[in-house]
Structure 1
Amino acid sequence: MAKVELAMDIRCSTGESPVSYASGNVHFVDIEGCMIHAFDTVANRPVGGVSTNGRMVGNVVPCASPGLPGFDLLACVETSILPVNFYGNDVSGTYVASVPDSDLNAAKPIRFNDGKVDFQGRLWAGTMAMDPEQNPESGRLYCLERGKSLNGGEKRASYDLVEKISPVGISNGTEWYGQHMYYIDSLQPEVCVFDFDEHDGSISNRRRVLHIPDTQGLPDGMTIDANGKLWVALFGGSSIVQIDPETQTELMTIQVPALCPTSMAFGGKDLSELYVTSGGSGEEKKGGNSEHRGGLFRVHVPGVKGLSFSRAFTQ
């Protein structure tokens, strides 16, 4: 039986984008709280936070790019991607890339949401409308790749933000396994899959893996275990669910003590723990009042381990 416990009583407005390290640390963001947090899963304590200075931050990923020396994270902040030195408390003001002007509309403002790095070190990050109910097709999914030249003669490399999926409602979970890429647009109540070319990052042949009924909540963030099974957070459904993408069936549902789980990552020293973020403001909007809404939760499922620690951007 799964064991679920509160790891960090942080009360995020919208916790999101947990990333794990072999050291045992986990980073995650509070989107509206404009913060990047860290939690030491071994010592079982917070280990600091960095403000994005009033700018909403959709996700963070580890960074080990030779073109970005001195930075350990990339953060998708509003409509730009910024390098971060977390332990130096520095969110660089110089962006790596930004959403193209052609995808911006002042009357329909957007921001970055969830993102993740593939096994070739490319960052995939998606956007959503600030008001997705009014503007349900304003989002995109992009891939950040190394550019062809240096940036304005500087030593730092240039990067291209390449559109991969359009339109998108609320861009969320992304994962890879073999020659497949799995993806969630939360306004499409399903998990879908693409054929994926790891060499050039191209995707094709979109099809459904599993429909998620409204009664279960909105599919949100996603991760994958060592056996290729998907784990999906159900926002508004107080649960996370394990899915077999081959048989297109739900294998296991685990209740968490918050109405709006948002995403998760396998972590701990041996990838045997799931760290689940949650949204406090989303729960309040839905009339929920759980004691630890917005918290970071730890889930242990006997016999289940993650496929890998979070991958770093290396382009």
Structure 2
Amino acid sequence: MSGYKIEAIAGAQRTYLGEGPHWNAQKNELLYVDIFGKAVHRYVPSTGENAKVTVDAGPVSLVVPVEGQPNKYLITVERDVQVMEWDGVSAKPTSLKRLYTVDDHCKTNRINDGKCDASGRLWAGTMGYEPAPGQLDPKKGTLYSFGLDGSVVKHADQIDIANGLAWTSDNSIFYYIDSFSYRVDAFDFDITSGVLSNRRTAFDFKANGVDGIPDGMTIDANGNLWVAVFAGKKVVHIDPKVGKKIGQLDFPTTNITSVTFGGPNLDILYATCAEHFLSKEDLASQTTAGSVFQVLNVGARGLAPGFNYKGPV
């Protein structure tokens, strides 16, 4: 790939472990989280505004607006799914309400990544305790969905690190990453029932010679995937229909965590990253670690903006 331009966004506040970028088309703003900073951020590209709300209860791993309720957001805190009421400006939320708690069998787990499908159903997965790089409590994670009727369904277990999710334009295929499998897996998907079936490998990182750890993911209007690579300094562009890498974006910092398309035309690729697990020497040389990046001229557009949550609150 050539001609693309990567910029650290000066107006977007930096994070320790940035994650969960979500383009909120209703407000033309980018939402993202700082997991261990226990914070949700909102960045408005047209004005440069960036507001931050801190949630003292624990690590916050995702944020999704609640449909039809402009000041309410679905967030995850540790093993909880909560509704946060926030005016978008204040440093503290107006209120927090717990909806669900998962993984009671392993109280050191936490929810790691998630997003909503086109029906407004939340999908989120968990991971085991990770005190240091590579020292993960293995195979403790689970992939859940949280239905429009208030149901909680377990779809897969024995997961190391539940990560990127994406759906095709016709909602017939669900793509999913368990980071330490070093794969993107595909499932047949029923948007009405939320049932997954026929799991198979869509892209194998090791077989394709891609180093690093697959993390967050998004899909473009051509049905191709963009996968952030933690410990890899890149985002890889993948054609999941043939299981091949078709391009790569190279970044000036090591730990790229997630990506989403945004902007009025969905033609800007936003990427979060992390200072997490970097040495003092790395931090000294990687001056943009923890930034939010925008990538221009990627030659693709997003399939859709982030979907809002439509379940019970």
Q: Structures share a fold, TM > 0.5?
A: yes
Structure 2 CA distance for partners of 1:252 and 1:160, relative to 1, 3 Å: same
Q: CA deviation at 1:282?
A: 2.8
One-letter code aligned to 1:105: C
TM-score normalised to structure 1 length: 0.88
Q: CA deviation at 1:105?
A: 2.6
The residue aligned with 2:255 is: 260
1:294 pairs, out of 255, 269, 290, with 290
Paired residue secondary structure (1:47): strand
Q: C-alpha deviations, 1:205-246, integer Å up to 9, x for none? A: 111111113862100000011111100000011000110111
Q: CA deviation at 1:70?
A: 6.5
Q: CA deviation at 1:204?
A: 0.8
1:183 pairs, out of 168, 176, 179, with 176
One-letter code aligned to 1:121: G
Task: Give percent identity, aligned residues only.
Answer: 34
The residue aligned with 1:238 is: 233
The residue aligned with 2:97 is: 94
Q: Is the 8 A contact 2:71 2:87 kept in 1?
A: no
Q: Is the 8 A contact 1:260 1:280 kept in 2?
A: yes
Q: C-alpha deviations, 1:143-202, integer Å up to 9, x for none? A: 01133xxxxxxxxxxx23211111111000000003100000001101110010111000
Q: Is the 8 A contact 1:97 1:160 kept in 2?
A: no
The residue aligned with 1:63 is: 66
CA distance in 2, matches of 1:18, 1:54: 21
CA distance in 2, matches of 1:5, 1:267: 15
One-letter code aligned to 2:270: Y
Structure 2 CA distance for partners of 1:264 and 1:168, relative to 1, 3 Å: same
The residue aligned with 1:274 is: 269
Across the aligned residues of Structure 1 and Structure 2, the Cα RMSD in angstroms comes to 1.9
1:13 pairs, out of 13, 16, 20, with 16
1:227 pairs, out of 212, 215, 222, with 222
Q: Is the 8 A contact 1:276 1:297 kept in 2?
A: yes
The residue aligned with 2:30 is: 26
One-letter code aligned to 1:145: G
The residue aligned with 1:156 is: none
More divergent stretch after superposition (87-96 vs 248-257): 87-96
CA distance in 1, matches of 2:292, 2:85: 23
Q: Is the 8 A contact 2:269 2:298 kept in 1?
A: no
CA distance in 1, matches of 2:35, 2:78: 9
The residue aligned with 1:78 is: 78
1:173 pairs, out of 164, 170, 184, with 164
5+ residue gaps, structure 2, are: none
Q: Is the 8 A contact 1:42 1:269 kept in 2?
A: no
5+ residue gaps, structure 1, are: 148-158
TM-score normalised to structure 2 length: 0.89
One-letter code aligned to 2:81: I
Structure 2 CA distance for partners of 1:280 and 1:302, relative to 1, 3 Å: closer
Count how many residue pairs are aligned between Structure 1 and Structure 2. 296
Paired residue secondary structure (2:147): strand
Structure 2 CA distance for partners of 1:93 and 1:10, relative to 1, 3 Å: closer
The residue aligned with 1:118 is: 117
**Does 2:154 match 1:163?**
yes
CA distance in 2, matches of 1:302, 1:208: 26
Q: CA deviation at 1:284?
A: 3.2
